[in-house]
Chains A and B, each alone.
Chain A
């Protein structure tokens, strides 16, 4: 009773928000300082390493909760080798072993494995790399976990909204439903319909899924602690899959006008050897641009934020925080915009490409 009145009080809410905001800003500083304390005696602070550690993928999951020591959760490693499947915990490879120490070698069923530069290599007893061993790494990495968390958030949110739509059929939206309905309508009315036209309905599930998948992962990427702190949409593999899906959908939707435009455009014959290859490159370059745009935007944002935070440790003074923290806050605001913008642009261009492929009267 008393608690709830405190929680509901008008003073508490802004306080809570500002406290969270402070955590948001302070957290990286904390974890960095711990990291730094451990490393300080051994080697100088290397911002590049810190930044790339965050930007890239890894076989361990640093679960960072504000004001608590960072924990590393070991993740399953799944290897498909030329001799068969191997599944073991990433703990066995010493994913957070001390720098300078030799990485432990795990002896699996088919090969022995060693982690080197985040890559799993097959080694022999002596620790030498076996060159001709084929290993395909299908491990559940940090990014896979983050993707699943984003998916769980999406599923919970949209299933609850669906039930709201079913319960309140024909009534005005309310709560979360009212928050997201304009976004869904925006994707439908301002993205899909103007670009695709009458055939938009078939592509709505794909467009909405792409939009919200990118958006939620962009937003989770901005949260520096659990459940965020990843760089999923800034990972080239993820953006590649998304744009590959776009490539497939666009070309499978292409009607005769679309293909005619590519293989038999109404131009003089001698231009064909130039135009047809250009058009074929165009098929690939459009999704390729999508892939690079999303990847570069998100990664760049993360790099800037981490670099600004790293300034504190480069200058080795907490006073630097008075400069870099406001800049980080500013960058986070811009990143918030970018999170929405990139989700929108990706969806927008996808529907534009689909629209070009299904357009009826070409020229």
Chain B
């Protein structure tokens, strides 16, 4: 029976001691320890969610890069094909222009040649006329040096003239 009879003194001392222990540990041990544990857990959770976010961001960036790359490639192809078209157009244009210019220059040359030819022809005509006159003059002069011949000529001319 003594075993199950609480001793008053021990009850009081246990109460007092436990209260002191609870106060001391509660204030100076459990509070900082649990706080530190909570902090660490929150830190780990934060870090994990941050890592997750970084992973997502990474994936997003990769996607973005890829799409950018695709876009750039498409643009390059587009530019290249444009350039090719422009080149062809330019060649066609240039050919046409050259053709036209050539034709124009040939035309001009022909006109010039004609001009020059007519000028030269005129010149030649003049020269021929002058030379003819000079020859005629010289011939006439030779003919009329002798009176007889003149008479002959006149008579011949007169004979020819038929009235």
Q: Which residues of A contact B (CB under 8 A)?
A: 52, 55-57, 78, 117, 136-141, 143-144, 147-148, 151, 154-155, 158-159, 161-162, 165-166, 169-170, 181, 184-185, 188, 201, 204-206, 208-209, 212-213, 235-238, 240-242, 245, 295, 299
Contacts and interface: CB of A to CB of B under 8 A. Distances in A.
Contact of A151 (B9, B17, B40): B17
Interface residues of B, number: 34
Contact of A144 (B8, B13, B33, B43): B13
Given A204-B30, A208-B30, A241-B18, 14 more contacts: A136-B8, A136-B9, A141-B7, A141-B9, A144-B9, A158-B29, A161-B29, A169-B39, A185-B37, A204-B34, A209-B25, A235-B7, A245-B18, A299-B3
B158 interface: no
B102 interface: no
Contact of A55 (B3, B5, B15): B3
Contacts of B11: 237, 240-241
A238 B29 contact: no
Interface of B: 2-15, 17-18, 20-22, 24-26, 28-34, 36-37, 39-40, 43
Contacts of B33: 158, 161-162, 165, 184
B7 A237 contact: yes
Contacts of B17: 144, 147-148, 151
Closest 7 CB pairs of A and B: A205-B26, A158-B29, A237-B6, A237-B10, A165-B36, A241-B14, A138-B9
23 contacts: A56-B2, A56-B3, A117-B2, A137-B9, A138-B12, A138-B13, A141-B9, A141-B10, A147-B14, A151-B17, A151-B21, A154-B25, A159-B29, A184-B33, A201-B34, A205-B26, A205-B30, A208-B25, A213-B18, A235-B7, A237-B8, A240-B6, A241-B18
Nearest to B25: A209
Chief secondary structure at chain B's binding surface: helix
Contacts of B6: 236-237, 240
Contact of A159 (B5, B28, B43): B28
Contacts of B18: 209, 213, 241-242, 245
A205 B9 contact: no
B8 A137 contact: yes
Contacts of B5: 236
A56 B36 CA distance: 41
